[in-house]
Amino acid sequence: MTDDQPDTAGDLAIREPPRVLVPIEVLEGQTIPQSLVAFLAPAELILLGYHVIPEQTPTEQASMQFEDRVRAAVDDIAASFAEAHSDVEERVAFTHDREQTLDRVADEIDATAVLLPNPTGEIDDILVPLRDVVDVDRLADLVSTLVDGEDKRVTLWDLTGDENTALLDQSEQTLRDRGLADEQIRTESDDVEFPTRAIVDRSDDFDVIVMGEGEQTLLTTVLGDTSERIADGAVAPVLVVRRERSEDGDDEDS
């Protein structure tokens, strides 16, 4: 997929326009709020309708019975995106393992970010928790690409527990460089014991959370990805910015 490489001409650390994977468990009645669709207007959307089945059921058997319904539901959702996105790519998957499918499709399409949907209203307040130094550039670049109006406010929240504010300063500077006004940016830093829970607790004050994917650790292998756990607990949708992948699809830092 040579045409999917990030366009570095605009000196962004992400591809331009960004590509966002929108996974929806359609038969569970999951939907995407229109305000979120509008917020994502600067990005290309890939809509993945998926259906998770227990392992005692062959995927083939599930597709025999449900394929038409899933495809129809995905078509409907894509049609409802038409105002903001004229050309949404649609994909349908049947799986025993949701995370495996999301990871695979995100790799295949070289997604900049994956949306973990939750209900939300008008999008004005954006929370950007900073947890580690990985790919802060990509995070800031995606936020600045999506925040195109004067009316949206971004809260950068440093949760590294580090006295050094370089990370925060760098992110703030990137947002300014990309055209955000000073009054749109707020910075905070806290040293909390459980960042995941702290983010979940603040989620109802914001309309969307944009965060980095984080690193794979033993803990995330046992408990599941941090972003997934936040999306499960949070009131707001979570947009997870993926790490930079090398050309063969592997993580660069592994």
Q: Which residues bind other proteins (CB under 8 A)?
A: 52-67, 70-71, 91-97, 100-101, 104-105
- Residue with Cβ nearer other proteins (101 or 226): 101
Cβ-based nearer residue to other proteins, 99 or 252? 99
Closer CB to other proteins, 188 or 232, in the complex:
232
CB of 87 to other proteins, least distance (A): 17
Nearest to 128 by CA among 155, 108, 95, 167: 155
Residue that has been written with the tokens 């408990």 in this structure = 223
Strand partners of residue 126: 154, 208
Q: How far is the CB of 54 from other proteins (least distance, A)?
A: 4
What's the gap between Cα 218 and its chain centre?
Answer: 22
* Distance of alpha carbon 145 from alpha carbon 179, whole angstroms: 10
- Residue of 40, 41, 26 whose CA lies nearest to 90: 26
Closer residue to other proteins in complex, CB, 9/222: 222
Amino acid of residue 245 = R
Query: Distance between CA atoms of 43 and 91, rounded to whole angstroms?
Result: 17
For the CB of residue 45, give the shortest distance to other proteins in the complex, in Å.
Answer: 18
Cβ–Cβ under 8 Å, residues 170 and 139: no
For 238, the 3-state DSSP assignment is strand
Nearest residue (CB) to other proteins, 76 versus 169: 76
Nearest Cα to Cα of residue 160 among 231, 236, 212: 212
Please list the residues that pair with 228 across neighbouring strands.
Answer: none
Least spacing, CB of residue 31 vs other proteins, in Å = 20
Query: 71 or 176, CB closer to other proteins?
Result: 71
Residue with tokens 């749109």: 184
Min dist CB 52 to other proteins, Å, is: 8
Q: How far is the CB of 25 from other proteins (least distance, A)?
A: 12
